[in-house]
């Protein structure tokens, strides 16, 4: 009897300790993601103003030709912040279909690969393979991370009008940006808008109660 009682106490203490350890890991993951998101948002914004963002020379790729190391750091901070925070978002929210969740994770991984390729293969002003690789991976990076975010907003386990509204607004913003770029051409400020919007959405979902169903 006494031995069983001691064993039960040991198991209970281990269970409590495991729960405490999980809570600590959870807090570390949460606040690491938050710090990374905030730091990346600030760096992304500051980097975009190293040149006049309203001119063609103010795009991230054009700035990268003048500041290659800053461009590489831009890629590392942006890619890691998006991937880390989207992973946090996926882990703490359920989907209607786990296959959709897997597709989202694959998109995140491909997004990271694309942005790291993009910043290590700088743009050129002469059309050729290097330019194709750079702009192809730049567009793919944006596409893959946008898909990962939109999948989360479109396929939650529980219906949420706020997710639906956010999806419509985000989609409309992307459409307006495409139209604006077609009309006015390359523009650093316009190209930065989707990233700023993604940062804001991710922050609101992960670190505020705004999207919680009441």
For each of the chain's 214 residues, which pLDDT tens digit applies? Answer: 555 554 555 555 555 666 667 788 888 999 999 999 999 999 999 999 999 999 888 999 999 999 999 999 999 999 999 999 999 999 988 787 889 999 999 999 999 999 999 999 998 888 899 999 999 999 999 999 999 999 999 998 888 899 999 999 999 999 999 899 888 888 899 999 999 999 999 999 999 998 887 6
Q: How far apart are CA 170 and CA 58, in angstroms?
A: 23
pLDDT score recorded for residue 186: 84
In this structure, the dihedral spanned by the alpha carbons of residues 131, 192, 45 and 144, taken in order and rounded to 10 degrees, is: -70
Strand partners, 95: 156
Q: How far apart are CA 193 and CA 176, in angstroms?
A: 10
pLDDT score recorded for residue 79: 95
CB neighbours of residue 125 within 10 Å: 7
Question: CA 92, 170, 143 angle in degrees (round to 5)?
Answer: 80
The C-alpha R_g of the chain, in whole angstroms, comes to 21
Tokens standing for 157? Answer: 């386990």
Strand partners, 30: none
Separation of CA 168 from chain center: 18
pLDDT score recorded for residue 3: 54
pLDDT score recorded for residue 156: 86
Q: What is the pTM of this model?
A: 0.87
Q: How far apart are CA 154 and CA 128, in angstroms?
A: 38
Q: How far apart are CA 39 and CA 58, in angstroms?
A: 21
Side-chain-side CA neighbours of residue 210 (13 Å): 13
């Amino acid at each position: 009897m006494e031995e069983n009682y001691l064993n039960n106490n040991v198991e209970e203490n281990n269970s409590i300790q495991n729960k405490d350890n999980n809570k600590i890991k959870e807090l570390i993951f949460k606040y690491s993601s938050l710090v990374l998101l905030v730091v990346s948002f600030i760096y992304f914004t500051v980097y975009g103003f190293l040149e006049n963002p309203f001119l063609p020379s103010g795009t991230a790729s054009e700035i990268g030709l003048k500041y290659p190391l800053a461009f590489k750091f831009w890629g590392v901070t942006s890619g890691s912040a998006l991937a880390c925070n989207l992973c946090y978002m996926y882990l703490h929210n359920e989907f209607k279909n786990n296959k959709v969740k897997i597709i989202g994770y694959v998109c995140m991984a491909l997004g990271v690969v694309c942005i790291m390729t993009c910043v290590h293969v700088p743009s050129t002003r002469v059309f050729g393979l290097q330019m194709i690789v750079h702009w192809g991976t730049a567009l793919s990076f944006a596409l893959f991370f946008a898909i990962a975010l939109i999948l989360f907003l479109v396929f939650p386990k529980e219906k949420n009008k706020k997710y639906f509204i956010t999806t419509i607004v985000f989609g409309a913003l992307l459409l307006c940006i495409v139209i604006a770029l077609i009309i006015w051409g390359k523009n650093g400020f316009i190209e930065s808008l989707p990233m700023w919007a993604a940062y804001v959405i991710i922050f609101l979902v992960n670190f505020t109660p705004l999207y919680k169903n009441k």
